[in-house]
């Protein structure tokens, strides 16, 4: 695994759980509003972190963590993702996967094998705008991932609301296409930090810490 970072404790990346976040390097999207460009563009990559050291650190702290979030970048690009998650699960840790949804077959296999406990699918823009806005011409694959996550009942859909991009009309179209969006999070510049926001009472409800 090309691991680009470790956040030792987060109280917002897995709502309801204190979690560590492991970041993978590499992404097949080119979102202009991305807040982790150093995990997307190869010329910005730092030398990858040692996988064994991260796994050892996680195992030693499993009693203090509610789980591990695998984020990126885009984790499903990694051919050895399943084997890495298998070792995380073997250490007694729950796993949440953050994904852009472009590899539904990978997500389905991870769910089938019990290697992830929850999946957050980032739905970026309406399907017709995926190629122009994020450089990915197959939004049907993202929607297939949304559908299988809903079918398994093991995750939710979220959207980063970018000023000037996600108008109320755009968000309404996205909600219709995805069968609802449970989590809206505000845009944050590179290096910024903010918790997800839940603008209506009928959104998915997460317990406080």
pLDDT tens digits, residue range 23-59?
999 999 999 999 899 999 999 999 999 999 999 999 9
CATH code where residue 109 lies: 3.20.20.70
Residue 203 covered by a domain: no
R_g (Cα) of the chain, nearest Å? 16
Residue 205 covered by a domain: no
Contacts for 70 with CB less than 8 Å, ≥ 6 apart = 21, 22, 24, 81, 85, 95, 96, 97, 98, 116
Cα–Cα dist 127/39, whole Å: 24
- Per the structure, the count of domains in the chain is 1
φ, ψ at 119 (rounded to 5°): -130, 130
Residue 209 covered by a domain: no
Residue 196 covered by a domain: no
Cα–Cα dist 41/189, whole Å: 16
pLDDT per residue over 73-124, tens digit each?
999 999 999 999 999 999 999 999 999 999 999 999 999 999 999 999 999 9
Domain enclosing residue 52, as ranges: 3-186
Residue 130 covered by a domain: yes
Percent of the chain with pLDDT over 70: 90
């Amino acid at each position: 695994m090309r691991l680009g970072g470790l956040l030792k404790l987060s109280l917002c990346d897995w709502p309801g759980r204190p979690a560590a976040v492991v970041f993978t390097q590499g992404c097949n999207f080119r979102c202009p509003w991305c807040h982790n460009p150093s995990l997307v563009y190869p010329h910005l990559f730092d030398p990858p972190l040692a996988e064994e050291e991260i796994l050892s650190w996680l195992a030693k702290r499993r009693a203090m963590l509610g789980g591990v979030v695998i984020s990126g970048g885009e984790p499903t690009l990694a051919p050895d993702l399943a084997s890495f998650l298998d070792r995380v699960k073997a250490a007694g840790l729950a796993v949440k996967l953050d994904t852009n949804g472009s590899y539904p077959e990978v997500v389905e296999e991870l769910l089938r094998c019990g290697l992830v406990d929850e999946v957050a699918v980032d739905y970026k823009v309406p399907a017709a705008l995926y190629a122009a806005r994020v450089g990915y011409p197959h939004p049907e694959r993202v929607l297939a991932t949304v559908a299988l996550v809903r079918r398994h009942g093991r995750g939710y859909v979220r959207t980063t609301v970018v000023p000037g991009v996600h108008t109320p009309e755009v968000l309404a179209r996205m909600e219709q296409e995805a069968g609802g969006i449970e989590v809206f999070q505000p845009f944050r510049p590179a290096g910024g930090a903010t918790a997800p926001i839940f603008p209506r009472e009928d959104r998915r409800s997460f317990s406080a810490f």
